[in-house]
Amino acid sequence: MLTRHFAPFLLLLVGACARPATQQECDEIVVRVTELELKTRGIAGRDSQEVRDTKEALRKTTLRDCVGRRISDKAMACVRQAESAQKLINECF
C-alpha cells in the first residue's frame, strides 16, 4: 500500500526557501495523495469506507511526520499539480 511508501518522503521536506509546514498544508497533502491513490484504484469520488480508511491511514503518518518540517511553496505547487500519488512523492519532495 502507498501509505508504507509515503512516510519516507516526509523526511525530504527540506529545500530552498523552505519554511515549517503548517497543519493545513499537511492536511492538503493527505487529501491530495488520497485523491490520487483512489483515482489509481478506480474509486475516486466515491463516499466509501475505503476512502475514509485511506485518508485516515495517511493522516496518521503524515501529520505526525509533516507538521513543522521544512516545505517550500514550489513543493506545495507540485502537490497541487501532481497527476499520480507516485509522481507526487517522487517529484514534489
Domain housing 54: 2-92
How far apart, in whole angstroms, are the C-alpha atoms of residue 23 and residue 21?
A: 7
Q: At what angle do helices 23-41 and 85-92 cross, to 10 degrees?
A: 140
Number of domains forming the structure of the chain: 1
Structure pTM?
A: 0.73
Q: What is the pLDDT of residues 48-71, one digit of tens each?
A: 777 788 788 888 777 778 888 999
The segments of the chain whose pLDDT lies below 50 read: 3, 7-8, 10-15
* Other CB atoms within 10 Å distance of the CB of residue 80: 11
Grid cell locating 91: 517529484
